[in-house]
Structure 1
Amino acid sequence: MRHTNGCLLRAMLILLCYNKKTSFASSRKTRDMRGAPVCGIYVGQLHFCTREMDPICATNGKTYSNKCVFCSEKIEKGRFDFSHWGRC
């Protein structure tokens, strides 16, 4: 009886891990399809950015916490571009 319960537990853990990996991968692909943020809306405005976490990786190798922070820095410094959504 113990052997059956152990096998059942392992099978459930494998399914759980598999589902987490596939749902993470599919949500990451969806996020990656958004394309580069449009920074023009931030030109000429005061840059008060929220603290939301929606990371953007820039070509300078730095991760910015969200598009407002990314665009504000890009407008101010201008020496990098959008690489991809997510951490570098």
Structure 2
Amino acid sequence: MSFFSSWIKVIFITALVFPLYSEAFIAALKRKEPQCNKYKDRLHMCTREMDPVCGTNMHTYSNECVFCSAVLENNRSFGFKRYGSCDSS
């Protein structure tokens, strides 16, 4: 009886946790390349949120706004590589 009870708990916990992680994973897959034109009128007026963006120049920017400000300031001499730190693979 104890074995059966343990498996019920495992299944219950898995059923509770799985939707939380799967939703975050799917949302991460849906992210698209930043549209920098929306930042052209407010260069460097960015929030301090940490949502790293890696540029093709292998520099990690703290968020999409900071990345786009740098791209526009440098006449698009580099582009978007991926979301996340350039250090992580």
Shorter-chain TM band: 0.5 to 0.7
1:39 is aligned to: 36
After TM superposition, the score normalised by the length of structure 1 is 0.63
Q: Percent identity among equivalent residues?
A: 44
The alignment covers a number of residue pairs equal to 85
Equivalent positions of 1:8-87 (< 5 A) are 27=24, 30-77=27-74, 78-87=76-85
| Unmatched 5+ stretches in structure 1 | 1-22
Greater shift, 55-64 or 37-46, is seen at 37-46
Could you say which structure has the higher helix fraction? 1
Superposed structure 1 runs of 4+ greater than 6 Å apart: 23-26
Distance 1:45 1:80 in 2: 19
Q: TM-score, normalised by structure 2?
A: 0.63
Letter of the aligned partner of 1:33 in structure 2?
K
